[in-house]
Amino acid sequence: IITAGGKNVAPAEVEPLLMEIDGISQAVLVGDRRPYLAALLTLDALALPALAESLGLAESTPSALADDPTLRAWLAERIAKDVNPRLASYQTVKRFDILPRELSPEEGEMTPTLKLRRAEIVAKHAERIDALYRASAPDPESARRSA
């Protein structure tokens, strides 16, 4: 990924850090020719019930929690405190969105060997990605400053 500022960022350096967060199963870094990096995240259906309980949430399925404000705030804080400090400033994840389901080969988003098909993911989720660059999505940077 080459940002609008000309910085070259290897997704392989950032995505594994995002997947270390409890409840995250997949992470796709986006931001090619954009002013900052963002991520599409999927929720881990197996880890979600325990996480939802610890956050006091009634729902525990990925589709039900994808838009949950409590979970989003918790993830923004985790990114700000656990992921971004381990990266150079140009590599930090500024915004994210949660997909309601995991990426899959059946949907054309992964190869049969489960490698991400970035071009297909970006094309399929273009509207979500565009929204990350125009809407007021959770901002891990402001969460870090206020913490």
What CATH number has the domain spanning 11-139? 3.30.300.30
User: What stretches of the chain adopt beta strand conformation (E)?
Assistant: 24-30, 37-43, 93-98
Exposure letters 73-90 (e unless 16+ CB within 10 A, then b) = ebbbbbbbeebbeeeeee
The CA distance from 16 to 85, in Å, is: 14
Torsion of CA 74, 75, 77, 81, to 10 degrees: 140
Q: Where do the domains of the chain lie? A: 11-139
Measured between alpha carbons, how far is 98 from 83 in angstroms, rounded to an integer? Answer: 17
CA–CA distance, 94 with 35 (Å, rounded to integer): 10
Distance of CA 125 to the CA centre of its chain: 13
Query: Within 34-136, where are the H helices?
Result: 48-54, 62-65, 69-78, 118-124, 126-132
Residue 134: its pLDDT value, please? 86
Gyration radius from the chain CA atoms: 15
- In a structure prediction context, what are the per-residue pLDDT tens digits for the chain, which is 147 residues long? 998 889 999 999 999 999 999 999 999 999 999 999 999 999 999 999 999 999 999 988 899 999 999 999 999 999 999 999 999 999 999 999 999 999 999 999 999 999 999 999 999 999 999 999 986 544 555 544 443
Model pTM score? 0.87
